Structure 1
Amino acid sequence: MEKERLDYLQIHPKDNVLVALRDLPQGQVVNFQGATFPLRRAVAAKHKFTITAMPKDSEIYMYGVLVGKVNADLEQGELLDVDNLRHAADDFKLGNRKLEWVQPDISAFKDKTFNGFHRSNGTVGTANYWLVIPLVFCENRNVLTLKSALEEKLGYRVESKDYSNEVDELIARYQAGASTEELLAVDLSASVANAKANRLFPQVDGVKFLNHDMGCGGTRMDSDALCGLLAGYITHPNVAGATVLSLGCQHAQASILRAEIQRRDPHFNKPLYIFEQQFEGTEQELMQKAIKATFAGLAEANTLQRKPAGLDKLCIGLECGGSDGFSGISANPALGYLSDMMVTLGGSVILAEFPELCGVEQELSDRCIDEPTAEKFIHLMRTYNAKAEADGSGFYMNPSPGNIRDGLITDAIKSAGAAKKGGNSPVAAVVDYPELANGPGLNLLCTPGNDVESTTAEVAAGANVVLFTTGLGTPTGNPISPVIKVASNTKVFEKMNDAIDLNCGTIIDGEETIEEAAHRILDYVIAVASGEVQAKAVKLGQDDFIPWRRGVSL
């Protein structure tokens, strides 16, 4: 039976605005709770309009929290836009614990497992990668040289990244005398390479070559954090071992990296090869040693096999990027329901992007399991925002032009919807970057709202799968953890189906409930975690990796 599709929605009983679920023309009559009024202007889908007349400086509520104040007197049925609405959010303080919550029904999943790679420290990987990492940007070229030498011959080159066939087609047309107009009209769809190279090491999902612009020349805080981040990747359950290239004189010393590895895994026993160019001598000597070590490590990693594991061994990173006005009422609450399911199953979830928790601090701090945890969250939020404001860019400047265009006018509106990814369970831990956040339950991890920086940090914190919601569309991925993209609306899912895995526009379209969508997403997560399905970002070779410089990045 088809579910009813609405024209507009009140998200929370306390809200004094409605969200348009489809494009509404000027003059359309709205019937809401006994009141009837026309729309003063056309309201595009995802945008909001007033329920009652509002004098200047009236407070606007969405998701039950303060999200803004109006800049002028507004009539009933008026569209909210960047001219008549400004950011506002309630202050927050240490409050009482509010730990009661309704656990979801997990009967459909309590006996399910996924097939993963079991590590000696008890963690389970959803993939099996070898890493090649520079400790400092001076080694980026050598890492890329290793990539050139190893990737294609071992069968790990992603075919979709190679558009040489398309270029060959255009060269042939040009040499045959094609005009500019004819070149622009060429159909290149038939030129995509279909062959997939055979892998020499079939149990190894890939060799990932990371690059970055850090390690020296910045602050010691940044170089130390980089070592912690890289240690998070090396000790990650999705990683079998690593080759590390160091120059030797940089701030990010190999000794710091080893200490960070021991902090995260005191009994670390994966193959780890660290080569310092200033010690090895010539580039040839360095590269030959690195190639031999990497090849030997791959041979060892290839002996591992996938085996069943309980869903409590999943650590799911919750992320959003390219958000829109539907994100907070479709894809994000679906992830929130899934998050509560994972907590009930004994698994781990990570909610990050602290600039996108602005306005919901009180709720989240009250949900922290004890006062010290709540105080840590409050301290991190206040310190981060104060630093941003000191540099002329507070949390209120977080929404991007695309966010604003699609209905997220203030940071508080964006944040209130983004926080829905965290569900309703108590906050088990609050963790600062770049530490581990993979304990059972809901973990809050301090990261920027920047999609790639935050995803990079969540994976270092232990996420072996990332669920990434998007309303505008984004191709973001990660080198070692599958990033599963979930669309908030059907239009973007159909338009970018090569990069987006799942559609929650079905909720907006009245075809599916939030609970039904969450069940469907978790089934897909299990298939991806078992190696049965490749996430779209993995297929595209979308290996985004950006360490966070602890200065201001929203």
Structure 2
Amino acid sequence: MKTNILKIHPNDNVLVALADLQPGQTVQWAGFEYLIAEAIPAKHKLATQAFEPGDGITMYGVLVGKAKGRIPAGGLLTTFNVQHATNTYAQAAKQVSWPAPAVDRWQERTFMGYHRADGTVGTANYWLVIPLVFCENRNIQVLEEALVNDLGYNRRHTYQRQTQELIGMMQAGKTVEEILQADLQSALAEEVKPRLFPNVDGVKFLAHDGGCGGTRQDAQALCGLLAGYIMHPNVAGATVLSLGCQNAQVAILQEEIQKRDPQFAKPLVVLEQQKIGTEESLISQALRQTFAGLMLANTNVRRPAPLRKLTLGLECGGSDGFSGISANPAVGYTSDLLVALGGTVILAEFPELCGVEQELCDRCVNTETATRFTGLMQAYSRRAQAVGSGFDMNPSPGNIRDGLITDAMKSAGAAKKGGTSPVVAVLDYPEPVTKPGLNLLCTPGNDVESTTAEVGSGATLVLFTTGLGTPTGNPIAPVVKLSSNTALARRMPDIIDINTGTIIDGDETIQQAGERILDYIIQVASGEQEVSAVRHGQDDFIPWKRGVSL
């Protein structure tokens, strides 16, 4: 039976409103009745007891805040009466005993992927064009203009005819009011030529603003990230443009590639403008060699691969008060299924693991892994505090408006994406994943920086949960967008791929949703299902400069 409230953990002293609750209304949970003291919007939290200043507030079974003032039983929790608080944690690991979910149904399943020489399998087949420094961004743009349309990779919609309509209305003497009320024609997809290389999913251009002018550590990290993209299973080869005098030198990039794979064998074109001379000479060489690389990349075709070859990145953005009870735990169950099948999962966004550190430490396979996790968390927290910030400043205005009023409350729900499996490794940005199972990767909570990092570490597709609606994508890895509530899925169907609001609606369990997600990503990995972010050409790419980004 559908209910209008939810208690997430038996030890919690708050309830989640699944629907708007009115003052004087009585709600019931597990044999207890609660009188609503004031209006409680859906997704927000109400007190199950009277809180005095300093009293701890528990959700998901962990401390997520403390009362700043008196809160009556049945009262609304807000940023005015609750402040961020978490329990302390220690760098210890317990004996990990994990009851893995049953995976008989998927044991013999395969996906159709691109097999690489290093044994990895991609879910797509791209060629990359990469600048080593922002000075080359214009040349990257010139190459994009020269290649994309004629090769059949133009995916953009055009609103040009709407502009033409508006010009016509103005010339016809229409008023400002008439123009504002005009019903314009729908946008059209630009005419796309057939792909010249049918087995190549696209040519992607990773423009960025780094490579020089920052610290040498930033340049090293950028080269590590770019090496991760060049070596990525979804990438057939790459063209790299270097100016020549920047911090991010070609030698550093080659060193980072060798660290990851001494037997690196992909086609790699490296061109240095200051050695070649004119722009025309540079672009002509880049076009010839890139075209030849595409001819080679087109010889690779999809072949069956076991599901253990998949690597999932886990991300959330534009989270709401339902994210931690629908989309995130559903993704967590999908994560557990894939781990049980021998696959790999990456949980990132360290500022959004604040408050659940002890649980994750206890899930680490050994003390060394737990120690590395706590060390990275503490160092990150100190860097934030050194500039007058802190993890408590992580929730965005949208998060707060929709019920996530402290970072610990947001984090406890965000961590559910990682399921329940043991933590096999902890990685610092931009390290690659090398072990199957659940990996923790140190990244910011910023959606694009974190997604960029997860893919750089090896995620061949990303599950991205959202409660408010976020169009984030990635140049080379499909980003599957999952809504936490049905209203969002209906309001923004152009960016949402999967609706897990069915859990809130009472139509599906977390386990059923997790299984549905796994079936869907097998189709995506096989090239049978195109996700919204790919369809819209949402190619977001932002390297992390290791400054404080929450």
Which whole-Å CA distance do the structure 2 matches of 1:539 and 1:173 have between them?
32
- In the TM superposition, what is the alpha-carbon distance from 1:96 to its structure 2 partner? 4.1
Give the aligned partner of residue 19 of structure 2.
Answer: 22
Of the structure 1 ranges 326-335 and 186-195, higher mean CA displacement relative to structure 2 is found in 186-195
Of the structure 1 ranges 417-426 and 51-60, higher mean CA displacement relative to structure 2 is found in 51-60
Judged with a 3 Å threshold, the aligned counterparts in structure 2 of structure 1 residues 264 and 189 are, in CA distance, closer, same or farther, namely: farther
SS for the counterpart of 2:471 is coil
Judged with a 3 Å threshold, the aligned counterparts in structure 2 of structure 1 residues 516 and 221 are, in CA distance, closer, same or farther, namely: same
2:499 is the counterpart of 1:503? yes
Give the aligned partner of residue 346 of structure 2.
Answer: 350
Give the aligned partner of residue 323 of structure 1.
Answer: 319
2:495 is the counterpart of 1:520? no
Total equivalences in the alignment: 550
One-letter amino acid matched to 1:475: P
Counterparts in 2 of 1:76-475, with a 5 A limit? 76-160=73-157, 162-193=158-189, 195-475=191-471
- In the TM superposition, what is the alpha-carbon distance from 1:438 to its structure 2 partner? 4.7
One-letter amino acid matched to 1:399: P
SS for the counterpart of 1:500 is coil
One-letter amino acid matched to 1:86: Q
Matched-pair contact (CA < 8 Å) for 1:314–1:464: yes
Which whole-Å CA distance do the structure 2 matches of 1:387 and 1:334 have between them?
33
Structure 2 residue runs of 5 or longer lacking an equivalent are none
Which whole-Å CA distance do the structure 1 matches of 2:522 and 2:85 have between them?
40
- In the TM superposition, what is the alpha-carbon distance from 1:75 to its structure 2 partner? 1.4
- In the TM superposition, what is the alpha-carbon distance from 1:33 to its structure 2 partner? 4.2
- In the TM superposition, what is the alpha-carbon distance from 1:175 to its structure 2 partner? 3.5
Which whole-Å CA distance do the structure 2 matches of 1:286 and 1:44 have between them?
59
SS for the counterpart of 1:108 is helix
String of CA shifts for 1:477-515, please: whole Å, max 9, x gaps.
Answer: 000000000000011111111011110000000000011
Give the aligned partner of residue 53 of structure 1.
Answer: 50
Matched-pair contact (CA < 8 Å) for 1:349–1:438: no
Which whole-Å CA distance do the structure 1 matches of 2:174 and 2:298 have between them?
49
- In the TM superposition, what is the alpha-carbon distance from 1:186 to its structure 2 partner? 3.4
Matched-pair contact (CA < 8 Å) for 2:199–2:299: yes
Which whole-Å CA distance do the structure 2 matches of 1:43 and 1:191 have between them?
40
Judged with a 3 Å threshold, the aligned counterparts in structure 2 of structure 1 residues 189 and 495 are, in CA distance, closer, same or farther, namely: farther
Matched-pair contact (CA < 8 Å) for 1:169–1:191: no
Which whole-Å CA distance do the structure 1 matches of 2:10 and 2:456 have between them?
39
Quick one: percent identity of the two aligned structures? 62
- In the TM superposition, what is the alpha-carbon distance from 1:264 to its structure 2 partner? 1.2
SS for the counterpart of 1:152 is helix
Matched-pair contact (CA < 8 Å) for 1:159–1:196: no
String of CA shifts for 1:103-146, please: whole Å, max 9, x gaps.
Answer: 11112211111101000000011000000000000000000011
String of CA shifts for 1:436-489, please: whole Å, max 9, x gaps.
Answer: 025200000000000000000000000000000000000000000000000000
Matched-pair contact (CA < 8 Å) for 1:208–1:479: yes
One-letter amino acid matched to 1:489: N
Matched-pair contact (CA < 8 Å) for 1:466–1:482: yes
Judged with a 3 Å threshold, the aligned counterparts in structure 2 of structure 1 residues 98 and 325 are, in CA distance, closer, same or farther, namely: farther
Matched-pair contact (CA < 8 Å) for 1:54–1:74: yes
Which whole-Å CA distance do the structure 2 matches of 1:252 and 1:96 have between them?
38
Which whole-Å CA distance do the structure 2 matches of 1:485 and 1:266 have between them?
35
Root mean square deviation of aligned Cα: 1.2
Which whole-Å CA distance do the structure 2 matches of 1:194 and 1:209 have between them?
20
String of CA shifts for 1:368-417, please: whole Å, max 9, x gaps.
Answer: 11111110000000000011001111111100000000000000000000
Which whole-Å CA distance do the structure 1 matches of 2:195 and 2:507 have between them?
42
Of the structure 1 ranges 505-514 and 25-34, higher mean CA displacement relative to structure 2 is found in 25-34
Give the aligned partner of residue 546 of structure 1.
Answer: 542
Which whole-Å CA distance do the structure 2 matches of 1:540 and 1:244 have between them?
25
One-letter amino acid matched to 1:510: G
Which whole-Å CA distance do the structure 1 matches of 2:234 and 2:93 have between them?
39
Which whole-Å CA distance do the structure 1 matches of 2:311 and 2:93 have between them?
28
Matched-pair contact (CA < 8 Å) for 2:315–2:451: yes
SS for the counterpart of 2:151 is coil
Which whole-Å CA distance do the structure 1 matches of 2:140 and 2:427 have between them?
31
- In the TM superposition, what is the alpha-carbon distance from 1:265 to its structure 2 partner? 1.7
- In the TM superposition, what is the alpha-carbon distance from 1:262 to its structure 2 partner? 1.1
One-letter amino acid matched to 2:46: F
String of CA shifts for 1:145-201, please: whole Å, max 9, x gaps.
Answer: 1111111111111132x3223323333443344333333333334442374321111
Which whole-Å CA distance do the structure 1 matches of 2:381 and 2:287 have between them?
45
Of the structure 1 ranges 257-266 and 400-409, higher mean CA displacement relative to structure 2 is found in 257-266
Matched-pair contact (CA < 8 Å) for 1:471–1:487: yes
Matched-pair contact (CA < 8 Å) for 1:315–1:438: no
Matched-pair contact (CA < 8 Å) for 1:232–1:461: yes
Which whole-Å CA distance do the structure 2 matches of 1:115 and 1:129 have between them?
16
Matched-pair contact (CA < 8 Å) for 2:155–2:190: no
Runs of 4+ that moved beyond 4 A: none
Matched-pair contact (CA < 8 Å) for 2:154–2:190: no
- In the TM superposition, what is the alpha-carbon distance from 1:324 to its structure 2 partner? 0.5
Judged with a 3 Å threshold, the aligned counterparts in structure 2 of structure 1 residues 331 and 271 are, in CA distance, closer, same or farther, namely: same
Matched-pair contact (CA < 8 Å) for 1:438–1:461: no
Give the aligned partner of residue 7 of structure 1.
Answer: 4
- In the TM superposition, what is the alpha-carbon distance from 1:90 to its structure 2 partner? 0.4
